[in-house]
Chain A
């Protein structure tokens, strides 16, 4: 286990995943209509925006973890 952990390598970049999870799974944060964007309520555009942010996070982790 120990050697596994060392070589598996915990990276602080993985914290980006934690942020990604926490926001996505905390509906009180985005369950509102205001502000609208192009007529789309916040609830919808925020989650769509979060898809993009999450993809960027994952890409950042990819490039920093990959040797």
Chain B
């Protein structure tokens, strides 16, 4: 920790230089007029199967994932593997629902979930609720990407006091902000390719070499304490860790594609067929994520957490330092540099997409809706570019001045909040049966109840739902979105009965959802 690892740092800086160049050069790639919002913010909807694969992969499998999932396995054991069922079930959702959303959004020029909800239900306040939820849930997610970046910068041995300590992070962010501003979505799309190649090299090398060094998987797993190896078998009258595990996977999956950055990745595809094809191909990442989760056990077996040279790192970053310590310990310095660059670039890609997605939302559904109703294309894209800068600046300030723990907790709340947009967005892709005001009240009820549940369990994931004698511990997001749906279903006929005129301003027709 104390000494700068010059070899690793050199490799890291070289690779960062490469992606900086790539980020700016991307502006000329499949060139479009970047003064149009759909060109800047959706890459002109021109990405084919391969690019979409990398882009959505960059959305789903972020630097924070690479750091936090193994850290969870290291600290808590088997429960960290929920990431595998989670990423198994997202792809059928993508296959069925998001192909429909892609079709309708491309037909009507929708760029955000807010655009779609406004078009589908004709209620600007419901669209505003969806928009604000999206922006608020995205901000801490961007901040968490910076945490991933901070950890690898720390692992390179760069430390300092005061402002100097934060300088590398600041520089990385200036680079990110500059190429996102100039190239839009094309920048993360091209950088994602480099990031994934590096991540795959790292993961495959690590999963072959480290077990070999540690004496095989048998030895590794026998070093894992019994209570971490499997989920605890539930006692009587409770579904215990089983329902916790399953709802965590389900809730995370439902939330994932509601995040604005996922939708941005999906809408930038060139056709609905590209979406479906990707649903079949993206599990390649899931497999890798499962392997990465096993890194947590490699850490336990290697005992790096007890080595004095990594003590400072663990003290500063907690379990998040587990993966960097393992990589430093197991690999020569140059390869650790490659691995850290992979994680660091893995932070920039989603951070760029997220800031673009938040900017699209603000521009389309707040600025255009409530401030300047008839912007020119140039004005609109300019607002988006500026917003992307503000969003990233906000995340940077947050991470520099607020304890990391708050970002983690806010991200957890963000998952609970974003899932409340499920009825209008995901179900809206299938039906307009719901009354838009009923949806809005359902959203409010779900948001309130979910936040309350999260506070009741001191900002952890699992809320113990009591029904009679039984306890069903589960992810608050799932319970609160069920409440949200019930409210929307019950109130829809009520509102419809009282409405003097039936407001049906649906811009979309059934055929729009088909290819």
Residue ranges of A at the interface with B (Cβ–Cβ < 8 Å): 1, 3-4, 7-8, 14, 17, 20-21, 24-28, 31-33, 36, 38-41, 43-44, 47-48, 50-52, 54-55, 58-59, 61-62, 65-66
Contacts and interface: CB of A to CB of B under 8 A. Distances in A.
A31 to B, nearest CB: 5
Contacts of A36: 218, 221
Contacts of B246: 25-27
Contacts of A66: 273, 276
Nearest to B433: A1
B431 interface: yes
Contact of B85 (A1, A47, A58): A47
A31 B242 contact: yes
B95 A58 contact: yes
Contact of A55 (B218, B230, B284): B284
B279 interface: yes
B328 interface: no
B330 interface: no
A2 to B, nearest CB: 9
A43 B81 contact: yes
Given A7-B514, A27-B242, A54-B91, A62 B279 contact: yes
A54 B88 contact: yes
B95 A62 contact: yes
Contact of A43 (B78, B218, B276): B78
Contact of A4 (B233, B279, B513): B513
A13 B514 CA distance: 18
Interface in B220-254: 220-221, 229-231, 233, 241-242, 245-246, 249-250
Interface in B93-128: 95-96, 100
B89 interface: yes
B92 A8 contact: no
Interface residues of B, number: 46
B219 to A, nearest CB: 7
Given A8-B514, A33-B229, A62-B95, A1 B219 contact: no
A40 B218 CA distance: 6
Given A25-B85, A51-B88, A62-B276, A44 B294 contact: yes
Contact of A58 (B91, B216, B218, B231): B91
B233 A31 contact: yes
Nearest to A42: B230
Lowest 6 A-B CB distances belong to which pairs? A39-B218, A39-B217, A4-B510, A55-B283, A24-B85, A17-B92
Contacts of B229: 33, 41, 43
B226 to A, nearest CB: 9
Interface of B: 78, 81, 84-85, 87-89, 91-92, 95-96, 100, 216-221, 229-231, 233, 241-242, 245-246, 249-250, 273, 276-277, 279-281, 283-284, 286-287, 290-291, 294, 431, 510-511, 513-514
A57 B263 CA distance: 24
Nearest to A36: B218
A45 to B, nearest CB: 9
Q: Considering residues A4, A36, A47, A51, which has the most beta carbons from chain B within 10 angstroms of its beta carbon?
A: A51
Nearest to A24: B85
Nearest to B514: A7
B286 A51 contact: yes
B92 A20 contact: yes
Contacts of B250: 25
Contacts of A8: 100, 513-514
Contacts of B281: 55
Q: Considering residues B277, B284, B286, which has the most beta carbons from chain A within 10 angstroms of its beta carbon?
A: B286
Contact of A24 (B88, B231, B279, B284): B88
Contacts of A27: 231, 241-242, 245-246
Contacts of A14: 96
A44 B85 CA distance: 11
A15 to B, nearest CB: 11
Nearest to A48: B290
Contacts of B245: 27
Contacts of B78: 31, 43
A61 B84 contact: no
Contacts of B242: 27-28, 31
